[in-house]
Amino acid sequence: MSFLPYAVAAWVCIVGLYGIVTSRHLIHLALCLTVMQSSTYLLLLAIGYVKHGGPPIYKGVKLGTTSVDPVVQALTLTDIVVSVTVIALILALALDVHKQAGTVDPDEIREMSG
Amino acid sequence: MSWALPLPVVIPLIAAAVCTAGDHVLPRRLGDAIGVVGAAGAFAFSLVILLASEKQTQLTWFGGWKPRHHHVAIGVAFAADPLGAGVATLATGLVLASVLYSWSFLRDAARAYDTLMLLFGGAMAGFALTGDIFNMFVWFELMGVAAYALAGFQVAEVGPLQGAINFAVSNTVGAYMILMGIALLYARTGALNLAQIGHALSGHRPDGLVIVALTLLVCGFLIKAAIAPFHLWLADAHAVAPAPVCLLFSGVMVVIGLLGVTRCYWTVFDASLAAQAHDVRAVLVALGIFTALLGAVMAFLQRHLKRLLAYSTISHMGIALVGIALLDEKSLGGASDLLLAHGLLKGSLFLCCGILLVRYDGIDELQLHGKGRSLPVLGIMFGLGALGLTGLPYVGSYLGHAQIDEGATANGIDWVQPLLMIAAGVSSAAIFRAGARVFLGWGPREDPLLSAEPSESPPERTASMPALFAVTAALLVLGLVVSVAPGLGQRVEQAAGRARDRIAYVDRVLRGRELPAPPRPPVAVESTATDSVLYGIGATAIAFGLALVGLFRRRLPEIVRTALRFTLGPPLAALRLAHSGIVGDYVAWITVGTAVVGGVWALLLR
Amino acid sequence: MTRRVRIGFFLPALAGFAALLVWAYTGIPSFGDYQGPYGFVINRISTPLRHMDNAVNSTTYDIRGIDTMGEEFILFAAVIGVVLLLRDEEGRSEDVEDDTGSDVIRIFGTLAIGAAVLVGLWLVSFGFVTPGGGFQGGVAIASGALLLYLVAGYREWSAFGDETKLDPIKGIGGGGYVVIGLAALVSGMPFLHNFFSGGVTGSVWSGGSAGFVNWSAGIEVAAALVILFSEFLEKYIVPIAKSR
């Protein structure tokens, strides 16, 4: 039980990576990147969990009560913003590619090689 | 002087914000001027920090959150040692050069371009100066996002879009790997400050978590550094980005990747892996040599000038990685000198390509055949840049090559130097061949060996040629004199030594202890071993010879040509296939590389 | 490389990568057993030193404020990038007849816009007391703005989502963050030092200058996201308008 969150994090990462490599649609690829990013959220938040710990909000709560780690939550917040921005860029690129090349299949876009 | 530490980051950022806020209000030239002032301010303060850091590692804790409670670091620190400050200076300096060049070069969407450029520069400075691993990740991502947008700048063609997608996806996968590494280290040590993580790990034998964290961090950074097999995105991104952007990509963005590896190893992993350093070294040296040779060969197969130069960059990054991987002071100093000279010289070569594009409307070696004859000055600059990259004794990158060679010898490794010589020779041969074809008109107009790439349309601004030439020439001259600048080699070596000194770093960052100022190194041209001189001459000979073979292949006897075709044909075809331009392939190779590196270290380091 | 070759290389590598991850994760302290000092220290000092009940936001905006500044500029850069990538020579198309015909949507939508914006503002202002903060509140405000499109149609939206109005807001938000940090620097304290810290725990005024930083983040995020929505919407609307 205590390893399950980490196993799930690893699984989600693998699934995302597989999706990226085998993707046939740029939007699908962007979403697979999001999936891979989600695995890092899982990892971070699982690391910071304290058994029987409450949220790190102290309004009306006595100081010194067991709380979970706030740092990983702050890191995850930063991560989410970073991920959103990169996905936005990739989606914009996908839109442009569709306009220029008529396709969004990454395997078909081969202007450059070698 | 520690108050100045945030400035190389903050000044470009606020200039970018002002440019955007005033975008539709301020006159165009004022916006441009703010950009130049922002870049110049960042560069000036980076220099100031560099000079101050030589006496004492500069330290500031953001928000005033100094460490307390048994040396637990609470806030985020910038800790500038000479190596980091040097990279920040290189980054901000090249951004300034790029902004000045672009003033004349680009017109379309200039405001957005300037803003992204400033953000790019500020992020690189932040990465180089910081002492906190998650802060490194934040600047890494800012760098990345600005770069992806700059790469896809010319949206009207599919090529740039493909390049930008390959770039964005590959580097994002790398960033996630870095983040996973950070999470693992946090899980073990509960810290994000580099010094504190290293302190917490010291004395413990490395286990699976540490080894995999090393793998993820190193591989993530090596993607940015364009080391094979993580390098595939670089050529695509370079081929399509405007020339001043390529200057930054090749000159300093890849250097950031290598700095990441260096910084993480010496502050964090050296603590528990010092006893097994030779195993770490073995894998990285192997990757470095593989990259150096692969990049050189691929460079020779290109006719698109910027793609050719991009592969040459990959090759030089391999050589620099060898220097870093040898894990000693001289080689790390050599890698730094090499990257300094390379950044300046490769940058000036890219700017030459920009001038070619403006003047002749093309960027293809065969298409430009002979046209450069009407710009002999440009031809001379191009030739000198190529010469500087080859490693001819006492020109340009020679100092770096020599120090790496000497470091290898001192470590008892003798087979590395000839291979590096060959790599430098072959990649420069490609540049010489292209230069001879364009500027001298040598060689045939058709060459089936070279892969055809899409052409590029020139930028819309009517360029002021003297301005473009001036910036290009300035970079070229600075790059050429790196080998003979008095005192530079010794100071860089001393900086490398400081970067390797984890105990002193921890003392300074966590305990605030000011160390005695190191002795000033002599101000003299560094002398190099005879072997290095010979290797330098050898590389130049290979470069010239192979360039001539490339140009005048038809005059070789038929038997030789058939033999070459049989032996070299299939491997080259396989190489070409691997560089397919498809992002799925690229990420597959990244996975393969990471799994192999991780697997080897798992077996060796346990 | 054909797909088959690629997958042939990739699958074993993926298996190896998975094995490495699992091996690494077994070295993490078991779930619930967080040991490291960082989180515990921040939980202890956040309320007494800075009068902030929300330890996560005190980390984000005060203790690790420089990370958030970088992150804000990542959003800033990405939005500029998207505008750059989706730029069009064709110009905006303003006369698109696509407002929703339904009165119900209009009424409830308008109410929802108000609610969303209010919730967003509340999230930002009480960020140091309850879960929330600049980023979360900014996103809520931006989604309220997006509801405007749903309710009123593209023409009303395009007057609102106009770059010339939003760019200054975005710049001021981003620049504001930096200026607050610089203000501390100029007065002799380290960059981003929380001056006039204190205030009353549990109220809107807790947090000191980190509160301003919180607001500038919220403003910037809201403006940036509205620009993003606007760019993508335009790409969607213009072809539809042309096809009519």
What is the C-alpha separation between B81 and B7, in angstroms, rounded? 16
Q: Is the peptide bond prior to B229 cis by the omega test (within 30 degrees of 0)?
A: yes
Check if the interface score ipTM surpasses 0.90.
yes
Cα separation, C60 vs C56, in Å, equals 6
Continuous H helices in B252-326: 254-264, 270-273, 277-300, 305-325
Nearest to A78 by CA among C123, C34, C64: C64
Cα separation, B538 vs C134, whole angstroms: 60
* Residues linked to residue A67 through DSSP beta bridges, in sequence order: A54
Residue C15 falls inside a structural domain? no
Give the span between the Cα atoms of B574 and C13, in whole angstroms. Answer: 20
- Give pLDDT, residue B50: 92
Cβ contact B582–A109 (<8 Å)? yes
Query: B448 versus B589: which is more confidently predicted?
Result: B589
Is the pLDDT at B563 greater than 80, yes or no? yes
* Residue C18 in domain: no
Cβ neighbours of B599 (radius 10 Å) = 16
Statement: residue B176 has pLDDT above 90: yes
**Which has more confidence, B142 or A110?**
B142
* Spatial distance between the Cα atoms of B11 and B92, rounded to a whole number of angstroms: 11
Report all structural domains of chain A as residue ranges with CATH numbers, in order of start. Answer: 4-108 (1.10.287.3510)
Q: Does the distance separating the beta carbons of A109 and B165 come in below 8 Å? A: yes
In a domain, C11, yes or no: no
Q: Determine the pLDDT at residue A10.
A: 95
| pLDDT at C232 > cutoff 80 | yes
Per the structure, how many domains does chain C have? 1
| Inter-chain residue contact C39 with A1, CB threshold 8 Å | no
Using the predicted structure, report yes or no on whether residue C185 has a pLDDT greater than 70: no
Q: Helix axis angle, B465-480 relative to B329-360, nearest 10°?
A: 160
Residue carrying the six token digits 């540490």: B210
pLDDT tens-place string over residues B517-541: 778 777 877 777 788 888 888 889 9
Residue C243, chain B, CB below 8 Å: the answer is no
In 10 A of CB C105, how many CB atoms? 14
| Facing B17 at nearest CB: one of C23, C26, C174 | C174
pLDDT digit string (tens) for B403-460? 898 888 888 888 888 999 999 999 999 999 999 888 888 888 877 777 766 666 666 5
pLDDT averaged over every residue in chain C? 80
B243-289 pLDDT tens trace: 889 999 999 999 999 999 999 999 999 888 888 888 899 999 999 99
Mean pLDDT of C49-62: 82
d(CA C149, CA B482): 59
In the block, residue with structure tokens 């180089």: B128
Under 8 Å CB pairs connecting chains A and C tally to: 156
Residue B106: pLDDT over 70: no
In A, which residues are within 8 Å of B581 by CB distance? 109-114
For residues B309 and B243, give the distance between their C-alpha atoms in angstroms, rounded to a whole number.
11
Q: Is residue C73 part of a domain?
A: yes
CB C195 within 8 A of CB C209: yes
| Cβ contact B581:B166 at 8 Å | yes
CB contact under 8 A, A112 and B159: yes
Lowest model confidence (mean pLDDT) among A49-58, C44-53, C69-78: C44-53
Using the predicted structure, report yes or no on whether residue B140 has a pLDDT greater than 90: yes
Q: Which of B446, C115, C22, C234 is nearest to A13 (CA)?
A: C22
Residues of B in contact with A91 (CB under 8 A): none
Both tokens assigned to C44: 């202890």
State whether residue B234 is helix, strand or coil: helix
A93 neighbourhood in chain B, CB within 8 Å: 152, 161, 164-165, 168
Q: Do C36 and B65 touch (CB under 8 A)?
A: no
- pLDDT of C173 > 80? The answer is no
- At residue B458, the pLDDT reads 66
How many angstroms separate the CA atoms of C32 and A51, rounded? 4
Phi, psi at B60, each rounded to 5° = -145, 140
- Strand, coil or helix: B59: strand
What is the per-residue pLDDT for B159?
79
A10 touches chain B (CB under 8 A): no
Residue C110 pLDDT grade (very low, low, confident, very high; cuts 50, 70, 90) = confident
Residue of A nearest to B451 (CA): A114
- Decide: C232 and A93 in contact? Cβ < 8 Å: no
User: Pick from B161, B576, B582: which is nearest to A110 by CB?
Assistant: B582
The sign of the dihedral angle between the CA atoms of B282, B284, B287, B291 is negative
The neighbour count for residue B31, using CB atoms within 10 Å, is 20
Give bridge partners of residue B77 from the DSSP assignment.
B61
Phi, psi of B475 (to 5 degrees): -60, -40
Cβ–Cβ < 8 Å for B297, B370 = no
* Chain C residues lying within 8 Å of B75, measured CB to CB: 63-64
**Residue C27 domain-assigned?**
no
H, E, C per residue of A7-63? HHHHHHHHHHHHHHHCCCCHHHHHHHHHHHHHHHHHHHHHHCCECCCECCECCCCCC
Per the structure block, which two tokens stand in for B456?
Answer: 């590029």
Residue C86's SS3 state is coil
Closest CA to C192 of C69, C42, C48, C44: C69
- Contact status, residue A46 vs residue C27, Cβ threshold 8 Å: no
Residue B500 has pLDDT above 60, yes or no: yes
Q: What local confidence, expressed as pLDDT, does residue B29 receive? A: 77
Q: Which of C104, A20, C119, A75 is nearest to B170 (CA)?
A: A20
C neighbours by CB contacts (3+ pairs under 8 Å): A, B
pLDDT at B174 over 90: yes
Q: How many residues does chain A have?
A: 114
* Closest-CA residue to B585 (of A105, A22, A16): A22
- DSSP states of A82-102 as a string? HHHHHHHHHHHHHHHHHHHHS
Which residues 61-100 of chain A have a CB within 8 Å of chain C? 63-64, 67-74, 77-78, 81-82, 84-86, 88-89, 91-93, 95-96
> What is the predicted pLDDT for the residue at C83?
85
pLDDT tens digits, C64-88: 888 988 988 999 899 888 888 887 7
Q: In sequence order, what are the residues at sequence separation of 6 or more whose Cβ sits closer than 8 angstroms to the Cβ of residue B458?
A: B357, B358, B361
Q: Which has the higher per-residue pLDDT, B288 or C242?
A: B288
Percent of chain B with pLDDT over 90: 42
Q: Would you state the pLDDT for residue C99?
A: 63
Instruction: From B195, B339, B312, B285, select the one nearest B600 (Cα to Cα).
Output: B285
Per residue in A91-109, pLDDT (tens digit) is 998 988 888 888 888 888 7
pLDDT in tens, B436-448: 888 888 888 877 7
Range of the domain at C234: 36-243
Short-list B243, B261, B240, B263, CA closest to B251: B243
Length of chain B: 606
Helix (H) or strand (E) holding C10: helix C3-25
**Tokens in use for B125?**
């400075």
